[in-house]
Amino acid sequence: MTWLHRIRRSMASSWSMYRSDFRSLDKTQIFLLILLTVLAMFMLLPLVFIFNHAFKPLHELFLFPPTFFVQQATMQNFTDLLHATQDTFLPVTRFIFNSIMVTLLSTVGMVIFGALCAYPLSKHPFPGRKIVFGVILLSIMIAVETMGIPRYIVVKSLGIMNTYWGHVLPILALPVGVFLLKQFMDQVPNELLEAAKLDGASEWQIFMRIMIPIVTPAMATITILSFQTAWTNSETSALFMQDDAMKTLPFYVESLTSNLANTVARQGVAAAASLIIFVPNLMIFLLSQRKVIQTMAHSGIK
């Protein structure tokens, strides 16, 4: 049996299963299924537009009325993006490399520190625990712009200007991540942890072998939030990086059309760069969407 024949048999069995399930639905369920399908297609329109917009030639970008789908697809926007920095000493790949490095370090750090912070808040009733958790929740409501000057003073005092740590440390704390992980860990029975202690497990073993596997869906959600925060962040490049070689791709994209005398130049380049920034976010979400659904359902224990 060839691999093509196996794929056809799998698709045929899947289609027969879906058809039998569809026949078992009543009229209300069929109506809701059709309605949700239409809504899902409507929600996909921005994604379709982003992909089409990046491949439009310059004359299609400014058509009136504007077109939703590209008519004459071209790769010229991506070529112009690679050549946009040919008059400088820094290629665009340098900005992409910086974004990848900063995103990896920030995402790993946010997930690890979020879990280490949520665990004692959830399972160790130390004095002042509610106050600490209240401060964390309060920090969610504070606008990032109000913290610009204090963060600049701290980063400069630490001597990490124009370094990768200058990108990572200012965004390392993720209050939303701590909140989600704590709420997820609260569902884990204390009796389970006490049984592990009676069996001789250390605190670190309980955290790594019991707590982390249980809260894996929540950690997947935090990974997505952390990745989006770090990958699209341009504030650290604007505030803490004077050396252009240490700036990231989002900052470079913002600078493509800023301070220009018109709104036409480099719009195609900006569209291509926006697609490059968007695609990793989409891929991370698609790979982790099942875990995200489990997090929202608060299914901490199976």
Q: Is the pLDDT at 212 greater than 60, yes or no?
A: yes
Mean pLDDT of 1-16: 57
Predicted pLDDT of residue 2: 57
Mean pLDDT of 169-194: 86
Predicted pLDDT of residue 258: 62
Return mean pLDDT, the chain. Answer: 80
Predicted pLDDT of residue 171: 86
For 208-249, the DSSP string reads: IIIIHHHTHHHHHHHHHHHHHHHHT--HHHHHH--SGGG--H
Task: Kindly report, residue by residue over 112-156, the tens digit of the pLDDT.
Answer: 999 999 999 988 888 888 898 888 888 888 877 778 888 888 888
pLDDT band at residue 54, thresholds of 50, 70 and 90? confident
CA contacts within 13 A on the Cβ side of 175 = 13
Predicted pLDDT of residue 252: 82
Q: How many helices, marked H, and strands, marked E, lie in the chain?
A: 17, 0
pLDDT band at residue 21, thresholds of 50, 70 and 90? low
Distance of CA 102 to the CA centre of its chain: 13
Distance of CA 265 to the CA centre of its chain: 30
Mean pLDDT of 221-235: 87
Predicted pLDDT of residue 300: 41
pLDDT band at residue 11, thresholds of 50, 70 and 90? low
pLDDT band at residue 72, thresholds of 50, 70 and 90? confident
Tell me, what amino acid is at 197?
A: K
pLDDT band at residue 46, thresholds of 50, 70 and 90? confident
Yes or no: say if 115 and 212 are a contact pair by the CB < 8 Å rule. yes
Yes or no: say if 226 and 177 are a contact pair by the CB < 8 Å rule. yes
Tell me, what amino acid is at 26?
A: D
| Least confidently predicted of 62-66, 77-81, 90-94 | 62-66
Predicted pLDDT of residue 149: 84
pLDDT band at residue 170, thresholds of 50, 70 and 90? confident
Mean pLDDT of 252-257: 75
Mean pLDDT of 178-189: 86
